[in-house]
């Protein structure tokens, strides 16, 4: 029976090569998209799942909120929690709860100058971490003992790629590295590089006992925030029972801080599902996952609709075949299976093509997404079986209605020549065309909105100068700090340099919170936790940050460096001053320094535009707290200016490599994930349009063939080519216009959800849908124009000679 089905299907497919090609091409592109999106979504959902003990891995998220005395403290929201917390919480949890098997803590990443012999590398992303790290996390050690590698002070475990920079492929365990030109540290292990689906991004681990040697006091401070705490629970531990005890735990250990609370978050939820701030690594977006999942479904629906439309539109060609076979005794059920077999055969052919395209397609997805996708073995038997099942399901889904429709023809009506297929399926066909173009228009409009938002981000006035700003990163080098003013002056004297400033951090970089008291409107000190920049006298004027009240730091006032402080407008509002000028002259108390507020700067976007401007204090930073030098340069000869700065730097700070970046590039890197999302969205949207146009091409070609005699009569009666083209096109254009109307609310809702992730965003206006409609109508006209013109210019004698 299947052999018989195959022979008939094969003959029919070869007989109508053009329509077969369109159907296979549409299904193949759709399946390829689904495979690529599935691989991408699998990668997004696989973060941190390589740990063998992942089901027992949790992390502690903490809140550090402030409130006025006597005020009611409401329950924290998910956004109030942050992963970045204090050190004492880890040992205290282990001591109080026997359900916890291991605790591992690590600090914020550091950049350090590593040297071995004559090799010097400024290495970023080095973490101070507990010795229990390799007992908790599934990181593979190449050299060294994972259980003891991080036990001794001044020991370091390098990743494979970093170890190769200094030692090649040899075993470096027992070798020493010079750190920051100050102390030696012993290499006690080399581990495999982290997999691409890891939220951790470090390049090396330094034993936490090393930090104990430098700053033992911070490990007992509940208010000092610079640690990440992860827990490994014992088997069969219910995290809910542990969470139920969290409030009592906090009251026992930190009762005086009403704003402090903790909760536990599953580690495998960290990348996609966490709403906590201050993450230790990159995070994804569950909304983006849903959007791409919807795109995959949309694309397959469009491909299947193409198949259904062409199959039902060509019903007249198969009607006599159905009538003859029914007269010969073939049952409708067998006919239905015959047509389903044809659609499954087409789907399997498309699946083969999709598998062939998937491998190079993944490389393209990696480039568009900016992510290294974990290797996928398409020759895996399970993947092969899954693809066959997928192809069969698609074939059944696309072919079920055409099979039912074609097998339902009445034999006597067909053979008498009274059968009119259009009357039975034209309404459904129009609905399907409207549906697929609704999806296509929504994707086009979504693409326009994404790129309008990205353009808005790039053009938004941030409130400070970031163009032609070179940032030199010296990572707190002591010799540079001790000679900072001389180095700044030497750089400022170079040709092409406009101005120079120093700071602990620059816009776009990580900032700590500072427990800060400011005299409130009632005269009492109000303590809050704004962010903090430590800057020198020149930072505010060099960055062109405007003041709205008071003045900036000045060398003319001897007390500014010890008793002055500048805040932003948001900080003034935090302490109750809606008029910034009212905050000037008020007392402050911050990190052991007391004095008065001397100025208020206008709010500037020192962070990504995903976030609203937060309260900020700009504190004068003593040289031993500075780590960056900002240099404003002219734009006429940048390479020569950089060469002059490098020469000066090598002379003034020979112990430190000249490491620099342009601020606009580093600040823009915050939107890299958004840029990649826009590229992926555009890519798949374009493919969806291509598939829809393939269907439109096939449908318009068939309709032109069906109306060939009508076109001939019209030409004989004097119709012009343009008039006939309009005749053949207007029905399709009407459907596209209906699709535009339906797509507007659908797209508006979906993209407004996406835009909620930005504190500063565009509004979705009608112009977006006008542009999307123009694009869609133009694409549709181009698609059907060739066939319409061809039909209109045909010789009417050829079409009418048999009448």
Residue 801 located in a structural domain: no
318 in the same domain as 195: no
- Tell me the CA distances in angstroms from 60 to 87, 89, 141, 510, one per residue in order: 11, 9, 26, 20
179-221 pLDDT, tens digit per residue, is 998 889 999 999 999 999 999 999 999 999 999 999 999 999 9
**Among candidate residues 269, 299, 333, the one where a domain is terminated:** 269
390 lies in some domain: yes
Q: How many CB atoms lie within 10 A of CB 722?
A: 11
Q: Do 512 and 491 share a structural domain? A: yes
What pLDDT sits at residue 80? 92
Residue 447 has pLDDT above 60, yes or no: yes
DSSP readout, 141-171? Answer: EEES-TTTTTTSTTEEEEEHHHHHHHHTTS-
Contact between 208 and 128 under an 8 Å Cβ cutoff? The reply is yes
pLDDT at 461 over 70: yes
* Total count of residues recorded for the chain: 803
Verify that 64 and 176 share a domain, yes or no.
yes
Contact 782, 732 (CB under 8 A): no
Give the model confidence (pLDDT) of 630-655 as tens digits. Answer: 999 999 899 999 999 999 999 999 99
Q: Is the pLDDT of residue 410 over 80?
A: no
The bridge status of strand 564-568 relative to strand 616-620 is antiparallel
Which of 269, 301, 319 corresponds to the end of one domain?
A: 269
The contacts found for 701-708 with CB under 8 angstroms, 24 or more apart, are 701/18, 701/787, 702/19, 702/310, 702/313, 702/314, 703/313, 703/728, 704/728, 704/787, 704/788, 704/790, 704/791, 705/791, 706/316, 707/791, 708/791, 708/794, 708/799
Same-domain status, 448 and 508 = no
How far apart, in whole angstroms, are the C-alpha atoms of residue 577 and residue 200?
A: 41
CB half-sphere exposure, 379, CA atoms < 13 A? 0
Please check whether residues 391 and 501 belong to one and the same domain: no
Answer yes or no: is 255 within a domain.
yes
- 203 plus 320 within the same structural domain: no
The structure's pTM equals 0.86
- For residue 231, list its beta bridge partners: 58, 103
What is residue 464's DSSP assignment? S
Burial grade of 38 (CB within 10 A; 0-12, 13-18, 19 or more): middle
Q: In total, how many domains does the chain have?
A: 3
Is residue 275 one of the residues assigned to a domain? Answer: no
Looking at the structure, do residues 685 and 753 belong to the same domain, yes or no?
yes
Question: Crossing angle of helices 2-15/332-369, nearest 10°?
Answer: 60
Token couple for 776: 């869609």
* Residue 712 in domain: no
Q: What is the pLDDT of residue 536?
A: 97
pLDDT of 310 reads 73
Residue ranges making up the domain that contains 600: 469-670
Report yes or no: 475 and 112 within 8 Å, Cβ to Cβ: yes
Q: Are residues 121 and 153 in the same domain?
A: yes
Contacts of 763 (CB under 8 A, 6+ apart): none
- The answer to whether residue 513 is domain-embedded is yes
User: Which residue, of 239, 269, 299, is where some domain finishes?
Assistant: 269
Contact 141, 147 (CB under 8 A): no
- Mean model confidence pLDDT for the chain: 87
Residue 33 counted as domain residue? yes
Q: What is the mean pLDDT of residues 248-255?
A: 94
CB-count exposure of residue 154 (10 Å: 0-12, 13-18, 19+): middle
Strand extents, DSSP E, 160-219: 176-179, 183-191, 204-207
582 and 433 in one domain? no
Is the domain of 507 the same as that of 649? yes
Ranking 48-57, 388-397, 510-519, 699-708 by mean pLDDT, the lowest is 699-708
Residue 731 lies in a domain: yes
Predicted local confidence at residue 776, as pLDDT:
82
Identify any residues that bridge with 121 across adjacent strands, giving them in sequence order.
Answer: 114
* Domain shared by 248 and 368, yes or no: no
User: 566 and 477: one domain?
Assistant: yes
Alpha-carbon span 569 to 600, nearest angstrom:
6
């Amino acid at each position: 029976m299947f052999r018989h089905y195959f022979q008939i299907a094969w003959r029919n497919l070869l007989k109508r090569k053009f329509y077969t090609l369109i159907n296979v091409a549409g299904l193949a592109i759709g399946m390829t998209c689904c495979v690529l999106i599935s691989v991408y979504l699998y990668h997004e959902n696989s973060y941190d799942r390589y740990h063998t003990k992942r089901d027992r891995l949790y992390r502690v998220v903490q809140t550090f909120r402030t409130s006025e005395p006597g005020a009611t403290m409401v329950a924290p929201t998910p956004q109030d929690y942050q992963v970045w917390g204090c050190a004492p919480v880890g040992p205290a949890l282990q001591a109080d709860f026997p359900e916890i098997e291991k605790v591992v803590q690590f600090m914020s990443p550091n950049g350090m100058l590593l040297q071995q012999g004559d090799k010097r590398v400024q290495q970023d992303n080095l973490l101070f971490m507990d010795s229990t790290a390799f007992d908790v996390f599934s990181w593979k050690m190449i050299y060294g003992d994972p259980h003891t590698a991080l036990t001794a002070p001044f020991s370091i475990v390098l990743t494979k790629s970093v170890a190769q920079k200094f030692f090649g492929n040899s075993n470096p365990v027992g070798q020493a590295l010079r750190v920051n030109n100050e102390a030696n540290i012993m290499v006690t292990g080399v581990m495999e590089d982290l997999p691409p689906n890891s939220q951790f991004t470090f390049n090396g681990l330094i034993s936490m006992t090393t930090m104990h040697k430098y700053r033992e006091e911070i490990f007992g401070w509940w208010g000092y925030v610079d640690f990440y705490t992860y827990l490994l629970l014992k088997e069969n531990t219910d995290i809910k029972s542990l969470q139920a005890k969290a409030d009592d735990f906090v009251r026992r250990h930190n009762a005086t801080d009403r704003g402090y609370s903790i909760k536990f978050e599953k580690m495998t939820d960290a990348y996609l599902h966490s709403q906590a701030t201050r993450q230790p690594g990159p995070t994804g977006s569950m909304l983006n996952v849903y959007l791409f999942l919807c795109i995959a479904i949309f694309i397959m629906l469009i491909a299947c609709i193409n198949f259904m439309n062409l199959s039902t539109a060509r019903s007249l060609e198969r009607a006599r075949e159905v009538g003859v076979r029914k007269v010969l005794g073939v049952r409708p059920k067998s006919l239905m299976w015959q047509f389903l077999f044809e659609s499954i055969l087409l789907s399997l052919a498309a699946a083969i093509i999709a598998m062939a395209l998937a491998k190079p397609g993944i490389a393209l997805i990696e480039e568009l997404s900016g992510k290294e996708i974990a290797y996928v073995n398409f020759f895996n038997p399970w993947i092969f079986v899954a693809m066959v099942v997928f192809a069969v399901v698609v074939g059944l889904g696309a072919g079920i209605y055409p099979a039912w429709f074609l097998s339902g023809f009445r034999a006597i009506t067909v053979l008498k020549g009274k059968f009119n297929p259009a009357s039975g399926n034209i309404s459904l066909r129009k609905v399907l065309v409207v549906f697929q173009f609704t999806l296509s228009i929504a994707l086009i409009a979504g693409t326009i909105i994404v790129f309008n938002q990205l353009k808005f981000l790039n053009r938004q006035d941030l409130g400070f100068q970031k163009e032609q700003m070179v940032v030199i990163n010296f990572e707190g080098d002591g010799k540079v700090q001790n000679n900072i003013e001389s180095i700044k002056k030497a750089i400022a004297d170079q040709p092409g340099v406009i101005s120079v400033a120093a700071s602990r951090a620059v816009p776009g970089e990580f900032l700590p919170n500072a427990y800060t008291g400011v005299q409130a409107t009632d005269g009492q000190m109000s303590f809050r936790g704004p962010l903090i920049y430590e800057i020198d006298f020149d930072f505010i004027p060099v960055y062109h940050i405007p003041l709205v009240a008071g003045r900036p730091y000045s060398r003319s006032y001897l007390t500014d460096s010890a008793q002055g402080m500048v805040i932003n407008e948001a900080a003034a509002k935090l302490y109750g001053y809606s008029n910034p000028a009212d905050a000037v002259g008020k007392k402050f108390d911050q990190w052991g320094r007391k004095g008065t507020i001397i100025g208020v700067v206008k709010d500037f976007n020192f962070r990504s535009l995903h976030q609203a401007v937060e309260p900020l204090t700009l504190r004068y930073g003593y040289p031993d707290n500075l780590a960056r030098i900002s240099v404003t340069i002219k734009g006429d000869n940048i390479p020569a200016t950089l060469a002059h700065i490098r020469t000066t730097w090598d002379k003034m700070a020979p112990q430190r490599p000249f490491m620099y970046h342009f601020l606009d590039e580093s600040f823009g890197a915050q939107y890299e994930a958004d840029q990649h999302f826009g590229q992926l969205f555009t890519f798949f949207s374009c493919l969806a349009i291509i598939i829809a146009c393939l269907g439109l091409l096939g449908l318009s070609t068939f309709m032109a063939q069906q109306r060939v005699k009508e076109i001939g009569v019209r030409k004989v009666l004097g119709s012009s080519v343009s008039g006939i083209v309009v005749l053949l096109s207007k029905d399709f254009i009407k459907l596209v216009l209906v699709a535009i109307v339906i797509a507007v609310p659908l797209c508006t809702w979906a993209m407004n959800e996406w835009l909620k992730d930005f504190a500063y965003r565009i509004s979705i206006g009608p112009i977006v849908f006008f542009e999307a409609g123009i694009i869609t109508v133009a694409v549709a006209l181009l698609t059907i124009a060739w066939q319409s013109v061809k039909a209109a210019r045909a010789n009417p004698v050829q079409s009418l000679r048999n009448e």
